[in-house]
Amino acid sequence: MDDHSPRDDADAQALAPTPAPRVYETPPKERPITDAEAARAAQLAANEHIKIASGYLRGGLAEGLLKHATGAISEDDGQLVKFHGMYMQDDRDLRPERTKKKLDKAYSFMIRLRIAGGVISPKQWLALDDIAVTYAGSALRATTRQTFQYHGVIKANLKRTMAAIDAALLDTIAACGDVNRNVMAATNPAQVGAHKAAHTLAKDISDSLLPKTSAWREIWLDGERVVGGEEEEVEPVYGRTYLPRKFKVVVAVPPSNEVDIFAHDLGFIAILDKKNQVTGWNVTVGGGMGMTHGEPDTFPRTADVMGFVKPEDAIKVAEAVMTVQRDWGNRKNRKNARLKYTIERYGLAAFRAEVETRIGKKLGEPKPFTFTNNGDRFGWTEGDDGRHHLTLYVPSGRIKDYEDGPQFLTGLRKIAQVHEGDFRLTANQNVIIANVPAEKRAAIEALVDQYGITKGAGALRRNSIACVALPTCGLALAESERYLPDLMTELEQSLATHGLAEEEITIRSTGCPNGCARPFIAEIGLVGRGPERYHLYLGAAFDGSRLSKLYKEDVAASDILDTLDPLFADFARGRNPGEHFGDYLIRVGHVARTINGPDFHDRTGALKPAGHA
């Protein structure tokens, strides 16, 4: 663990009672879900039945698309279509009015692309822009996982949209569903060699863990049906039940933890030599954010550093970690199915031993590394190859033309028309105009200025993320993207009053506890509880390595400023030089330190065995 991680802080460790030895369950010897066991499916979660019956993700999708009487698809197909990178949604702003008029919901689809490492060419940018204008309300949404989403695509336009995505040499396969999702990589403009290695690894993992079924091509592009044969032939890695739950992989390059490696199922941390070349990767496992209010068996968890691999073994390790989770993960209860719970159940040592068995060698011991932050670096940076990179601040990743505000969509289209490098999406919903030759810098800068595009923002905003939430997200309990900007305006005034205007503090909000903006590793985390009500979490580490804790529950939106203002005042008075807000709140006892997931709901600060090495 890095030096900056307060989890390793010696003082805190000294105060902590010695945890009792943890008793783990014995790992299963065999893969629990095979064809032969499908008969026992009655005990499995409903989604397992849907997968088994789907014929490798086909279900009734092709027929459902032809039913013109409704803008919806069936409930089961709604689960399956996620594996194709899509969610059926409805406009929740319109729900009350439509219910009153006894109308069906205003159905449409969210489509999520798969862009490993978040890199696209200017030509692809222009194609995606064109799709946005034609089918998706003239907006693109950069996500917290380095890709784009479209909202509001109606059923009648789905196939046309997918064909246009395919024509741009992109796809949406496995962007959602119980599979390996879009693989993220550090954007890291300044360290060119390391970025290349991280991006290549992300792409290779993405390719190697991609579902092999031809259902996507067949359904969306009218491709020829490849008849399903034996399970091993169609999906040699996944089998017909795929994974118990979603699986997320990231690749980080210290000192930046911009990809928030501790929030992901599997991560690779670049270990660099003095020339910034990658000598191998530390492997992290078992991170995740999602939980359910009032259900203490569900919790966010920061990943453990499991070991070290040489570059040539990294893909094998990724496959092994995913297949152990495939075989050991909980298929009966989706709320306890992520890898983080598998590791809590069987222990890191047993998990690592099984991974080592599957790769046929021992992992090395983790090498030292240091993370300094989990945000983006804004403005221009020059890479060590002399190319220039401009990171733009895109509020909540929403790329559109704002009325009386920045013209993100038009401006970036104009830039894509002249740009010769590439674009990179960041894990914090921002966009990098990357690989600009020195002589083109002024032209890009002029377009950025002409269209009012923001190159940066105040310190709090620079370190903020809000999830989508209302009106499209079906799970939102409260506003997020439409609320956080106004709250930040208030908080910025309060911070300025206390002389903290330039203080880097991470703030993230989500409309529900699923954690799509990774709020539990932000120094200030707001998590929707109900309309205009939020749980307030505090005390995470600035580098994203430690979870926060519930500070105040069910706070009315109108009371958040009054709750935080005295803490800012106290911080301004009592902080040590260079001390971060989250660390300070713990040091002076405003909030208890969270050691890891199982300790997350314990507000007394008494430490329970964390169950990780």
Residue 289 binds ligand SRM, judged by CB under 6 A: yes
Smallest gap, in angstroms, from Cβ of residue 468 to ligand SF4? 4
Cβ at position 215, least distance to ligand SRM in Å: 20
Residue type, 461: R
Active site residue 92: no
Q: Where in 420-449 is the site for ligand SRM (CB under 6 A)? A: 429
Quote the tokens at residue 380: 């221009």
Told to check if 343 binds ligand SRM by CB under 6 A, we report: no
511 binds, among ligand SF4, ligand SRM, none (CB under 5 to 8 A by kind): ligand SF4
549 is annotated as an active-site residue: no
From candidates 56, 83, 87, 150, binder to ligand SRM by CB under 6 A: 87
> Cβ distance 354 to 324 under 8 Å?
yes
β-strand 464-466 against 249-252: which pairing, if any? Answer: unpaired
Tell me if residue 181 is catalytic.
Answer: yes
Give the nearest distance from C-beta 334 to ligand SRM in angstroms.
Answer: 7
Nearer to ligand SRM, 150 or 584 (CB): 150
Examine the residue annotation and report whether 112 is marked as an active-site residue of this protein. yes
Token pair listed for 508 = 């993230």
Cβ neighbours of residue 436 closer than 8 Å, sequence gap 6 or more:
387, 388, 389, 390, 419, 420, 421, 444
Contact by Cβ (8 Å): 63, 441? no
Minimal distance, residue 474 CB to ligand SF4, in Å: 8
Taking residue 59's Cβ as centre, other Cβ atoms within 10 Å add up to 24
Q: Bridge-partner residues for 249, per DSSP?
A: 266
**From 78, 288, 539, 611, residue interacting with ligand SRM (rule: CB under 6 A):** 288
Among 47, 124, 147, 336, binds ligand SRM (CB under 6 A): 147
**Out of ligand SF4, ligand SRM, none, which partner does residue 289 contact, by CB within 5 to 8 A per kind?**
ligand SRM
The residue behind tokens 């220039």 is 388
Pattern 258-287, ligand SRM, x by CB under 6 A:
--x--x------------------------
Residues in contact with 172: Cβ distance below 8 Å, sequence separation at least 6, in sequence order: 84, 85, 86, 111, 112, 113, 114, 162, 165, 216
**Which residue's CB atom is positioned nearest to ligand SRM?**
290
Classify 321 in phi/psi space as left (phi over 0), alpha (psi -120 to 50) or beta: alpha
- Map the footprint of ligand SRM across residues 503-522, applying CB under 6 A: 514-518
Which of 79, 108, 182, 330 lies at the binding interface for ligand SRM (CB under 6 A)? 182
List 7, 155, 246, 529, catalytic entry: 246
Contact (Cβ atoms closer than 8 angstroms) between residue 321 and residue 266: yes
Q: Choosing among ligand SF4, ligand SRM, none, which partner's interface includes residue 510 (Cβ < 5 to 8 Å by kind)? A: ligand SF4
Q: Quick one: which of 253, 467, 488, 491 contacts ligand SRM (CB under 6 A)?
A: 467
Q: Any bridge partners for residue 288, and if so which?
A: 301
Three-state secondary structure string covering 361-375 = CCCECCCCCCCCECC
SS3 447: helix
Which of 46, 418, 438, 475 lies at the binding interface for ligand SRM (CB under 6 A)? 475
123 is known as an active-site residue: no
DSSP string for residues in 29-42:
SS-S--GGGGGGGG
> Given 58, 352, 516, 546, which residue is catalytic?
516
The gap from C-alpha 533 to its chain's centroid, in whole angstroms, comes to 24
Our CA dihedral for 291, 296, 300, 305, rounded to 10 degrees, sits at: -140
Report which DSSP code applies to 27. P
464 contacts ligand SRM (rule: CB under 6 A): no
Strand 148-153 versus strand 107-112 pairing type:
antiparallel
DSSP assignment string, 492-535: HHHHHHTT-TT----EEEESSTT-TT-GGGSSEEEEEEETTEEE
Rounded to a whole number of angstroms, the minimum distance from the CB of residue 201 to ligand SF4 is 27
**Distance in Å, CB of 81 to ligand SF4, minimum:** 17
Q: Which does 512 bind (CB under 5 to 8 A by kind): ligand SF4, ligand SRM, none?
A: ligand SF4
- CB of residue 472 vs ligand SF4: minimum separation in angstroms? 8
For residue 407, the 8-state DSSP code is: B
| Residue numbers 14-73 binding ligand SRM by CB under 6 A | none
Residue 76 contact among ligand SF4, ligand SRM, none, beta carbon within 5 to 8 Å by kind: none
Catalytic-labelled residue, pool 51, 181, 240, 529? 181
Catalytic residue among 114, 512, 529, 549: 512
Q: Which two tokens stand for residue 483?
A: 């609320």
87 binds, among ligand SRM, ligand SF4, none (CB under 5 to 8 A by kind): ligand SRM
Binding partner selected for residue 112 from ligand SRM, ligand SF4, none, CB under the kind-specific 5 to 8 Å limit: ligand SRM
Using CB under 6 A, which of the segments 60-68, 145-153, 312-320, 385-393 binds ligand SRM?
145-153
Minimum CB separation from ligand SRM for residue 357, in Å? 27
Q: Which uninterrupted H or E stretch holds 152? A: strand 148-153
Total number of residues binding ligand SRM (CB under 6 A)? 32
**Residue 445: Cβ within 10 Å count:** 16
- DSSP element (H, E) containing 466: strand 464-466
- Binding residues (CB under 6 A) for ligand SF4: these are 467-469, 473, 475-476, 480, 510-512, 514-516
Q: How far apart are CA 180 and CA 241, in angstroms?
A: 13
Q: Is 516 a catalytic residue?
A: yes
CB contact set of 554 (below 8 Å; sequence gap of 6+): 529, 530, 533, 534, 535
| Nearer CB in complex with ligand SRM: 56/262 | 262
Nearer Cβ to ligand SRM (145/388):
145
Instruction: Find the catalytic residue in 51, 301, 331, 473.
Output: 473
**Alpha-carbon span 425 to 292, nearest angstrom:** 29
Residue found by looking up tokens 């459902």 in the block: 64
Tell me the closest approach of the beta carbon of residue 523 to ligand SRM, in angstroms. 17
Is-contact 262 197, C-beta < 8 A? no
Which entry of ligand SF4, ligand SRM, none binds 400, CB below 5 to 8 A by partner kind? none
CB of 392 to ligand SF4, least distance (A): 22
Sign of the dihedral through C-alpha 391, 393, 398, 399? negative
Binding site for ligand SRM (CB under 6 A): 87, 89, 110, 112, 143-145, 147, 149, 181-182, 246, 248, 260, 263, 288-290, 338, 397, 429, 467-468, 472-475, 514-518
Residues that are catalytic: 112, 181, 246, 248, 467, 473, 512, 516
